[in-house]
Amino acid sequence: MSLRRFTSTAVRLLLPAAVLVVAGCASTGPKPAIRGQDKTIDASAQNIPAQALTMFEQAVAIMAAGDFVDAELRFKEFLLQYSGYPGVYVNLAIIHANNGNDTAAEEAIDAALGLDADYPPALNQQGMLLRRNGKFIEAEAAYLKAVTASPDYALAHYNLGVLNELYLQRLDAALRHFQRYQELVNEDKQVERWIADLSRRVMANKRTANAVD
């Protein structure tokens, strides 16, 4: 593998981790233009009472700042009073995954899916956990369920692109999902370069297949 190809692969693997802090977070204010930022998770859309909303947003802000210990405590305090919001469990799953506690992350994901079996952020997080543990087909199923439930869920399309290119070696599928992701975010220069690279490789494979035929 060339140095350029190795570097590109490493970036693909690292980027999902970089967006974990915001995936599943809720905010009633404007969201920053972050790669794969979920546009459907909103505390107000979950009908969280006004008093609870402040608690939720404070925990999210602390989590985004990187203080996972304090954020975890605040999310758990929130759940003592308001246990019916799957986004809270997804945030806890993200914290646990960052701490390397896969068992706790899985339990939090299961709790979110117990509240809403088609909740895209929980399915996406489930896919990331499965992929990390080498269960690539199961991860694909989780991501696909997420984009079936919400076709505009950009982060799952991104992760499907990574999974198909780097793990399942399905370049056509990877290209489709990266293209869909790019359509949704419309400003990711890095993924734009990946799409160009994948397009060349897909065309080269087709030319080789035609020559063999």
- Average confidence (pLDDT) over 139-167: 97
Residues 6+ apart with CB under 8 A from 160: 140, 143, 144, 147, 173, 174, 177
Does the structure show a pLDDT above 90 at 143?
yes
Q: Is the pLDDT of residue 193 over 70?
A: yes
Q: How many residues are there in the chain?
A: 213
pLDDT tens-digit readout, 6-25? 344 544 554 443 333 333 33
Residues 56-70: pLDDT tens digits?
899 999 999 999 999
Q: Is residue 211 part of a domain?
A: no
With a cut of 60, say whether residue 191 has pLDDT above it. Answer: yes
User: How many angstroms separate the CA atoms of 97 and 129, rounded?
Assistant: 8
Residue 106 in domain: yes
Q: Is a pLDDT exceeding 70 seen at residue 38?
A: no
CATH assignment of the domain containing 57 = 1.25.40.10
Question: Does 212 reside within a domain?
Answer: no
Q: Does 121 map to a domain?
A: yes
pLDDT grade for 31, boundaries at 50, 70 and 90: very low
Total count of domains within the chain: 1
Residue 194, domain extent: 3-206
DSSP secondary-structure letter at 34? -
Establish if 213 belongs to a structural domain.
Answer: no
| DSSP assignment of 88-150 | HHHHHHHHHHHTT-HHHHHHHHHHHHHH-TT-HHHHHHHHHHHHHTT-HHHHHHHHHHHHHH-
Higher pLDDT, 35 or 184: 184
| Residue 181, domain member (yes or no) | yes
Q: Is residue 101 part of a domain?
A: yes
Q: Is residue 113 part of a domain?
A: yes
77-96 per-position pLDDT tens digit: 999 999 999 999 999 999 99
